[in-house]
Amino acid sequence: MEGLGIKVSMDGKGRWVDNVFIERLWRTLKYEDEYLKEYETLCDLWQGLGEGFIRYNTWGTHQALGNRTPEKDYSEDRKEKN
User: Count of CB atoms within 10 A of residue 3's CB?
Assistant: 5
Q: Angle between the 70-81 and 42-58 helix axes, to the nearest 10 degrees?
A: 60
Note the pLDDT tens digit of each residue in 19-38: 777 888 888 888 888 888 88
pLDDT in tens, the chain (82 residues): 567 776 655 555 666 676 777 888 888 888 888 888 888 999 999 999 999 888 888 887 878 888 888 888 888 777 777 6
Per-residue confidence (pLDDT) for residue 14, from 0 to 100: 62
Q: How many residues does the chain have?
A: 82
Q: How far apart are CA 30 and CA 48, in angstroms?
A: 11
Q: Name the residue range of residue 29's domain.
A: 2-81
- Report how many domains make up the chain: 1
